[in-house]
């Protein structure tokens, strides 16, 4: 399951997408909108993306993770649009026979998503200002 959506992420569905009898471990990571960023109260986040390229990059990352670790399943769902404090912005779930592979793959996937996938985040602060946060150029 690779998905970009403007709807709330159903974490149970993401888990079910990677559940299988061969897997003894499922790791689910949820990235949520926090109330403070660098000491500044956050009102909301806006996510924008280049959808076709973002989906392609997410698919490539899932395949690469499957090659690096013996994964039984991999699912990545990312929200776009405006999200408020507490909402889930991204869900990454991986399943594997053993927990170490699942933990390592999930962490690597999140790091790579932030580095190379064309999804941009704008932080909207309670004082009415905002800042775009871009992935670093690599």
Domains observed in the chain: 2-133 (3.90.1170.40)
Instruction: Read off the tokens for 99.
Output: 């927990």
- Tell whether the model's pLDDT for residue 131 goes beyond 90: yes
The position carrying tokens 């990454």 is: 92
74-102 pLDDT tens trace: 999 999 999 999 999 999 999 999 999 99
Q: Provide mean pLDDT across the span 131-135.
A: 80
Distance CA 118, CA 53 (A): 7
Identify the band that residue 133 occupies on the pLDDT scale cut at 50, 70 and 90: confident
Average pLDDT of the chain to the nearest whole number: 95
- Provide, rounded to the nearest whole percent, the portion of the chain with pLDDT above 70: 96
CA distances from 68 to 63, 64, 101, 102, 116 (A): 9, 6, 9, 11, 18
pLDDT at 135: 58
């Amino acid at each position: 399951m690779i998905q970009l959506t403007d709807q709330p992420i159903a974490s149970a569905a993401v888990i079910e997408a990677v559940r299988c009898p061969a897997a003894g471990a499922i790791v689910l990571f949820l990235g949520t909108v926090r109330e403070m960023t660098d000491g500044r109260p956050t009102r909301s986040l806006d996510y924008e993306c280049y959808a076709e390229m973002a989906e392609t990059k997410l698919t490539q990352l899932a395949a690469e993770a499957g090659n690096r670790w013996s994964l039984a399943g991999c699912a990545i769902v990312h929200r776009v649009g405006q999200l408020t404090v507490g909402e889930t912005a991204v869900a990454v779930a991986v399943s594997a026979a053993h927990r170490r592979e699942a933990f390592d793959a999930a962490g690597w996937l999140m790091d790579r998503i932030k580095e190379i996938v064309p999804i941009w985040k704008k932080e909207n602060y309670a004082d009415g200002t905002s800042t775009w946060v871009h992935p670093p150029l690599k």
